[in-house]
Chain A
Amino acid sequence: MRQNISTLKGIDWFTVILYLILVGFGWLNIYAANTDPEVPVFFDMGKEYLKQLVWIGFSMVTIGIIFLTDSKFFVEFSYIFYAFTALLLILVIFLGVEINSAKAWFQVGGMRFQPVELAKVAAALAIARAMSRFQFSFNKLEDIARLALLWVTPILIIILQNDTGSALVYFAFFIPFFREGMTPYILLFGFIAIAVFILTLIIPNYSILLILSAGLFLLMILRKHLKESLIGLAVAGVSYGIGTFIFKTETGETNYDMALITGMIAASLTVGTIALLRQFPKIGVYLLLFWSSVVFAYSTDYIFEEVLSDYQRSRILVLMGLKEDPLGAGYNVNQSKIAIGSGGLTGKGFLQGTQTKFNFVPEQSTDFIFCTVGEEWGFLGTSTVVILFVILLMRLVFLAERQHSDFSRVYGYSVAAIFFFHIAINIGMTIGLAPVIGIPLPFFSYGGSSLWGFTILLFIFLKLDTNRTQLIR
């Protein structure tokens, strides 16, 4: 009993209140998205908001149970919990129902449950445990291997469910990885890969090569290798000049691609040799980065042009916003922008949305719930929601940093990262800044298992936070 009292004392009420505000406002919007006062009889589409209310109640009970549980339990059972959710993820492939071509849901009566919501919590706990091992280091192969295995296993199973959107969420873990000392080059490499991928779709290979080369020289100059970069530039220039005379295309024109590649090979060999002689390992890393990007660009280009079908190509282009298709794949986004845009500064008022009238499409209350916020509450509403979410994320980082035990800190960062990924992708999608990936907006989207999952994710951390001064392992 004494422990319970002390527990309540240590709760971070700031976060709890933030949570309650978000859940409450979220529910109001689900209610709005499913209610149309003008035509109550003919088009009354069921009682999603009542079901959601049941789930909210269920979440409250769960919060109580979490606070009554000893923090050590979460550490000790993290791997078992992880294995259990992995099993659920596999089972759902065989026993689940298919929705939107993904086999990711269990259905019991009218209730649906998506095990990936729990799997995310379990992954965060297991990864936190792996990273809080005594003397964990990103330099130890064994540690990295364990971490990679924990990270990649659920992704593979979720891809088998054909639920790519949920699998992508696991990339959020790179934020805690980064915080705990993972080399930033991996992130840099990831960003370059994404940038190169997008660039290959819109500009010719020659330009990409040029941009990458320029980037390489710039990087070397910034890293105070002025001399080496100038030597490289000179060698590249000369080889390029010679190359333009040697390489011709089938039609007899100058093959600039080949000339540029030749120039860069010559420059890389020269600069690489200097780096080797004078022991500049960083230059080696830059060259490696550069050439991987080149290979990546050319192979992406090849796969895109030669392997994919017309349909797949156009789908990717539309998702990336590189091709207009207001009534095809981009239809939802276009309509969603119209709905949000129509809200104006102050919105049309609660339940007054016209664009979201008859918005009984499941997507309307799940993936595209932010439209209702935008239309009925206007810019004041949307910006408030965004600000509340950013405050929540900052608070979570602040809480994570004040933890004495590594386990709690890593877990806290994982929680923040998962929330961030969902918020950024979901809102980004509705306003046309991110590709259409069907993942829910925390606390807002209709769906019991997502609300329940996010609640568990958050409150396990708040429970750990009550023991922040102790070393939990």
Chain B
Amino acid sequence: MGNSNRSILIILFFVLIGIIFIIRLFVLQVVDPSYKYSAESNTQRKLTEYPSRGLIYDRFGKLLVSNQAVYDIMIVPREVAPFDTTDFCNVLNISRPELDRAYEEMRRNMRSRRISSFKPSVFIKQVPADQYALFQEKQYKFKGFFGQRRTVRKYEYPHAAHVFGYVAEVNEATMQRDPYYALGDYTGISGIENTYERFLRGRKGARYVMVDVHGREKGSVRGGRIDTTAVAGKNITLTLDIDLQAYGEELMRNKTGSIVAIEPSTGEILAMVSSPGYDPSLLIGRERSRNFPVLSRDSLSPLLNRAIMSAYPPGSTFKMVMGLIGLQENVLRTNTPYSCSGAYHARGLSVGCRHHRSPVDLIPSLAVSCNTYYCIVFRNVLDNPAHGSPKAGIEKWREYLNNFGFGKRLGSDFFNESRGFVPGSGYYDRIYDGRWSSLTVISLAIGQGEILTTPIQMANMTAAIANKGHFYTPHVVKDIENDTIPSRFEERHHTGIDPIHFDPIIEGMEQAIWSETGSTARIARIPGISISGKTGTAQNPHGENHSIFVAFAPKENPQIAIAVYVENAGYGSTFAAPIASLMVEKYLNREIHANRKWLETRMLNIDLINATKH
């Protein structure tokens, strides 16, 4: 083939393509009337059918979270004709600046090609149903606009906001990660709305319709054969007892702190209170943009879920674990008494204690909460010759704590759990340049110093004690409709402590409440319920100490284990113990005994937040 022939071939090729195009254009523009018709009369429109999110129930089947209808005002920019903007604003109850803002945003989105002028996109979000009715009457005046039904959350109770989390529009990152989502879709941002998004969201459907120039639907495209229906999200039952939850939030009103109550035999969370909290309805749809900044600026951090995110030193509530480790390590005998002169003294260092009967062995040591006793136990654990050095000793100690769920995320339903902190030999080597002994870190013995634990970890520890050595990961999901809950919640975790060692510890916790000679928490006594517990005080360098109480009941076949934290409230028996006992009583008896009504009233009325302010 000669090269000049090739140039002719190339020209022929160009001409051929040109002829094909002209023929095609002739067919499209002159011969075939269907395109002309479809331009004049009808346009097709894809309507997304949004599924309603799964409902949320409490453990007794009470409806907690449902859905309500709102309407997004959609715009098809290409179809918009001049309209009365004042009327538009009035009908939708929006201000002129709001309209201008919506218009600006649409303009920006079109420039960045996120939306198209051919396709509908959201113009005004979440117009309430009654307002939308007004708009619908005058819709004929606003060409290119139409309403799209959406559902937003409806909360039946003003409680448990931290557990639910909230729902909002997907962001760019989520859309890129998961192609299911499109601009304007909703997704769970935090709490179980986020964790169980996959189940709750359901599946979107699509409806293809023909619409006339006034935006009125004129029937489906191809008889609806390409439509897909939306599938509603799966309903979820929580382990929460909403009455107990509400009661806990009432008790914690005007106080800072949290409550976690767990069913020991299953790890199911019965209540999870973080105070101050907020009404979940504040974060629904349009409300959220107004309320969220207010809540996030509040100095008391109502958005923070203290139950899982705040870590404090555990204080004396830590003594049970200390005793258990001593017993398991065989450096402590139940009946060996240690004497206490009101403080622990060693090589010029002293740890204070209270005045109480002396000497005490294991059971009364918990009842009177003797610091001296646990300093001795702790040093025996660390200096145990079996490990060779305090470094090896503290690592062994740390291993036990990890088995109890401290110093790591428990793996509950909440992704933003705090780990807390359990120091090890590496940590102290760094601080003390390798030169430290069991005496240097002695404050750990009584749950002070560097160790930090979260309320949920403490409730879990209490459940493990109630179970005599094992626990199930605390969780709030009980059942997912036609599906199974994550298998990790059915796994039994062992603490590495033999069940037999728990008997004296539980006995000590019972004595702490019921002993006639030197109990530290007699205020927690509930008529007819064998409750066991322990007070604690978390040192707070920034102000008044935090009041802590952990408890479980009944002694045989425990049904509830609880940890209560009241910040800046001083000693554990003053606030945390009564609140914990009221919670236990409410859960087990469903009502408060007449003899304790005064206590309930007092706890409900105390205002620690404003009291400290003045």
The residues of A with any CB-CB pair to B shorter than 8 Å are 38-39, 42-43, 45, 99-100, 175, 178-181, 184, 311, 326-328, 331-332, 334-335, 337-345, 354-355, 357-364, 374, 378-379, 382-383, 386-387, 389-390, 393-394, 397, 400-401, 413, 416, 420, 424, 427-428, 431, 433
Contacts and interface: CB of A to CB of B under 8 A. Distances in A.
Given A180-B3, A390-B14, A397-B11, A38 B82 contact: yes
Interface string B436-460: 0000000000000000000000000
Contacts of B15: 390, 394
Interface in B140-186: 179
Interface in B14-30: 14-15, 17-18, 20-22, 24-26, 28-30
Contact of B26 (A383, A389, A390, A393): A383
A344 B179 contact: no
A175 B10 contact: yes
Interface in B559-576: none
B7 interface: yes
A327 B46 contact: yes
Given A39-B82, A332-B118, A433 B35 contact: no
B113 interface: yes
Secondary structure type dominating chain A contacts? helix
B38 interface: yes
Given A358-B79, A433-B20, 5 more contacts: A43-B80, A338-B38, A343-B29, A374-B28, A424-B17
Given A326-B44, A344-B36, A386 B81 contact: no
Given A39-B81, A358-B80, A420-B14, A340 B118 contact: no
Nearest to A341: B35
B221 interface: yes
Interface of B: 1, 3-4, 6-7, 10-11, 14-15, 17-18, 20-22, 24-26, 28-30, 32, 34-36, 38-40, 43-46, 77-82, 85, 103, 107, 110-113, 116-119, 179, 206, 208, 221
A99 B114 CA distance: 10
B25 A431 contact: yes
Contacts of B24: 431, 433
Contacts of A39: 80-82
A122 B28 CA distance: 38
Contacts of B21: 386, 427-428, 431, 433
Nearest to A180: B3
A358 B1 contact: no
B29 A328 contact: no
16 contacts: A179-B10, A184-B1, A326-B221, A327-B45, A332-B116, A339-B39, A341-B39, A358-B77, A358-B78, A361-B77, A362-B113, A363-B113, A363-B116, A374-B29, A390-B15, A433-B24
Most buried by B among A178, A328, A378: A178
Given A338-B35, A393-B14, A361 B81 contact: no
Contacts of A361: 77, 110, 113, 116-118
Contacts of B46: 327-328, 331
Among B21, B24, B35, B221: residue with most chain A CB under 10 A: B21
Contacts of A374: 25, 28-29
A350 to B, nearest CB: 17
Contacts of A355: 39, 78
Contact of A100 (B28, B32, B113): B113
A352 B179 CA distance: 39
A331 B34 CA distance: 16
Interface centre among A175, A374, A382 (most CB of B within 10 A): A382
B269 to A, nearest CB: 38
Contact of A337 (B20, B35, B103, B221): B35
Nearest to A41: B82
A342 B80 CA distance: 19
B26 A379 contact: yes
Contacts of B206: 327
Contacts of B35: 337-338, 340-342
Contacts of A420: 14, 17
Contacts of A332: 116, 118
Contacts, number: 148
A184 B1 CA distance: 9
A379 B14 contact: no
Contacts of B116: 331-332, 361, 363
B427 to A, nearest CB: 41
Contact of A340 (B17, B25, B110): B25
Contacts of A424: 17
A264 B85 CA distance: 73
A99 B111 CA distance: 10
A311 B22 contact: no
Contacts of B32: 341
A99 B77 contact: no
A42 B85 contact: yes
Q: Tell me which of B25, B78, B82 has the highest count of chain A C-beta atoms within 10 A of its own C-beta.
A: B25
B29 A327 contact: no
A38 to B, nearest CB: 7
Contacts of B79: 358
Contact of B118 (A100, A179, A331, A337): A331
Contacts of B81: 38-39
A411 B151 CA distance: 61
Nearest to A383: B22
A359 B117 contact: yes
A133 to B, nearest CB: 17
A408 to B, nearest CB: 14
Q: Which of B35, B79, B179 has the most CB of A within 10 A?
A: B35
B569 to A, nearest CB: 53
Given A354-B39, A393-B14, A433-B20, A327 B208 contact: yes
Contacts of B77: 43, 358, 360-361
Contact of B29 (A99, A100, A181, A382): A382
The residue among B24, B36, B112 with the most chain A CB atoms within 10 A of its own CB is: B24
B11 A394 contact: yes
B117 A358 contact: yes
Contact of A360 (B26, B29, B43, B117): B117
Contact of A179 (B6, B14, B103): B6
Given A397-B7, A433-B20, A342 B25 contact: no
Nearest to A364: B117
B14 A311 contact: no
Contacts of A344: 29-30, 36
A103 B111 CA distance: 16
B82 A378 contact: no
B397 to A, nearest CB: 51
Contacts of B25: 340, 374, 379, 382-383, 386, 431
A59 to B, nearest CB: 24
A173 to B, nearest CB: 13
A374 B28 CA distance: 10
Contacts of A335: 118
A442 B29 CA distance: 23
A99 B112 contact: yes
Contacts of B82: 38-39, 42
What 8 pairs across the A-B complex have the smallest Cβ distances?
A341-B35, A342-B39, A390-B18, A327-B46, A379-B29, A361-B117, A358-B78, A393-B14
A175 B80 CA distance: 46
B44 A327 contact: yes
Contacts of A383: 22, 25-26
Given A43-B80, A354-B39, A387 B18 contact: yes
A380 B432 CA distance: 89
A316 to B, nearest CB: 15
Nearest to A366: B113
Nearest to A327: B46
